[in-house]
Amino acid sequence: MIPVVYVFAYFLAALAVSFVLPAIVAIGLGEGTLGLDFLVSAALWLFVAGAMMLSLRGRERRLRPAQRYLLAFMLWLLLPVVGAVPLMMTVEGVGFVGAYFEAVSALTTTGASVLPVPEDLPRSVVLWLAMMQWFGGGLTLLVVVLALAPSGVGGLPETHSRMIEHGGLPERRRLILLVRDVFPLYLGATAITFLLLASTELEAFEALCLAFSAVSTGGFSPRSVTIAEYVPTFGIFVLIVAMLYGATNVLWQRDLIQLRRSRKMSHRESLWTIGLCLGLGLLAGLAFFRAAGQGAGVAIRDGLFTATSLITTSGFEVRNASFEIFPIALVAILLAVGAASFSTAGGIKLFRIGSMLVQGHRELNRLVYPHGIRPSRLGGQPYDIQVMKAIWSGFLAFIFAAVALSLLLAAAEIPYEGAMIAALSALSNAGPVYASDWAAASGWPSYGEMDTISRLGLCFGMILGRLEVIAVLGLAVYAIRRG
């Protein structure tokens, strides 16, 4: 438990430091005592994190697999408590459950909201919500490579985990090296997205919030209207590219930048993600063109944006009811599948779905050619029977969690179709999809209208989506055996 708390303290300190920027905005805009509230919160949590580090200094050890799962669970469960404090102090009537729901949604880059529309919130609070999504996107990458990938949870590609294992090093040193490997790309993409958006008609504040949200595939918008109503066409294409960046493999991106020809084509999962967004986007553009009768250019733009938003599990809507261009069953499938591994997107991931399809094809061929020799590779990445067992176990755990959560929501008198979309939106970290116009048209309650049990169930679903359901089950088995 000691090394878990020690590493957790570093993440707590990082989140506490991030309070400073909204504090500066609140002070600069004269938003009453909000600036002081943010600064006091930062000082309090920095003191707690510093005390944890000093008391445990010199006692850190390498994390065992079960401890890695526990660390990941603590991060997603407890850090939202820290993020919820400013919301409880600044938003009237939100309460702890509402603020915790909002913080979990932000840090898991889900984008579901129970707060008033952004126009009714202080600018510093809007920035804090966008920052939490951005922090959560970076946290997602670090948790995967620090805690989940080394154990191969759910059949994550082993080639990636070996690249970033940094085996034999103390946990603090491993964390520093992983931040060095991952963070510059993430920060650089955010900076480029912000500069490109700021070069359009957007305000710098809105450009910054959208950059934070798009790169993290969070789906939070600083305005309550659809994207096309205030973002120019060039900015919409910038957001498409930013969402694609967030949904592709961060290690593949690093190989591209470093021009590693031997590796950059081996992780084809990212190329599948881009190709799927383009293909489905063109089909959606054709459907928009036929349905709305707008120009071909606008229809293609909206189709590409809608498909990318769904596949990357961001949840942005470019126009009212844009997701309704797809059948609801297809929307559910896209949410469940998600995008690439080692990305900020949610879902099962394309690598796992592709592996199951390839393995299924191999088993069918085995019936005809029982002694045939077939390669065990998918997109240049090898897999074996152990990886397939992990993938199928993770897939079944995801399906079980989706069904269980949908039944919990349906018990709260939510129509089952809406309950299933809400469950998949939570587990795939694509909250705005449930809150689309079809929710009101179908009589589904909004997130703010749900009862406490439903909200807490969705919080747990969001955490499961980020943590991997199979890892939680493994942690539970470990706890039972130790008990």
pLDDT of residue 3: 77
Which residue in the block uniquely carries the two structure tokens 């590493």? 7
Which residue in the block uniquely carries the two structure tokens 């989506």? 465
Give the span between the Cα atoms of 305 and 182, in whole angstroms. 26
Give the span between the Cα atoms of 19 and 41, in whole angstroms. 8
Q: Which whole-number Å values give the CA distances from 88 to 52, 113, 164, 285, 454, in the listed order?
A: 25, 14, 38, 42, 20
Give the span between the Cα atoms of 376 and 65, in whole angstroms. 26
Contact (Cβ atoms closer than 8 angstroms) between residue 428 and residue 347: yes
pLDDT of residue 230: 94
Region for 284 from its dihedrals, namely left if φ exceeds 0, alpha if ψ lies in -120 to 50, beta otherwise: alpha
Start-end of H helices in 414-468? 416-427, 431-434, 437-441, 452-467
Give the span between the Cα atoms of 396 and 415, in whole angstroms. 24
Contact (Cβ atoms closer than 8 angstroms) between residue 412 and residue 93: no
Contact (Cβ atoms closer than 8 angstroms) between residue 60 and residue 4: no
pLDDT of residue 353: 87
Give the span between the Cα atoms of 460 and 463, in whole angstroms. 5
pLDDT along the chain (483 residues), means of 10: 83 93 92 88 92 78 75 90 90 89 95 92 94 93 78 60 52 73 88 96 94 94 92 96 92 74 61 93 91 83 95 92 89 91 88 82 75 60 70 86 94 91 93 83 86 94 85 67 64
Instruction: Concatenate the DSSP letters of all residues of 367-400 into one string.
Output: HH-TT-----EETTEE--HHHHHHHHHHHHHHHH
If one counts every other C-beta atom within 10 angstroms of the C-beta of residue 362, the result is 14
Nearest one of 206, 205, 252 to 227, comparing CA atoms: 206
List the structure tokens of 115.
């707060």
pLDDT of residue 380: 57
List the structure tokens of 449.
């209208």
Give the span between the Cα atoms of 37 and 117, in whole angstroms. 22
Give the span between the Cα atoms of 389 and 462, in whole angstroms. 24
Contact (Cβ atoms closer than 8 angstroms) between residue 148 and residue 122: no
Cα-Cα-Cα-Cα dihedral of 433, 437, 442, 447, to 10°? Answer: 60
Give the span between the Cα atoms of 480 and 122, in whole angstroms. 46
**Which residue type occupies 58?**
G
Contact (Cβ atoms closer than 8 angstroms) between residue 409 and residue 419: yes
Give the span between the Cα atoms of 114 and 455, in whole angstroms. 10
pLDDT of residue 395: 87
Give the span between the Cα atoms of 147 and 311, in whole angstroms. 25
Give the span between the Cα atoms of 347 and 341, in whole angstroms. 9
- Name the 3-class secondary structure at 117: coil
Q: Say what the pTM is.
A: 0.90
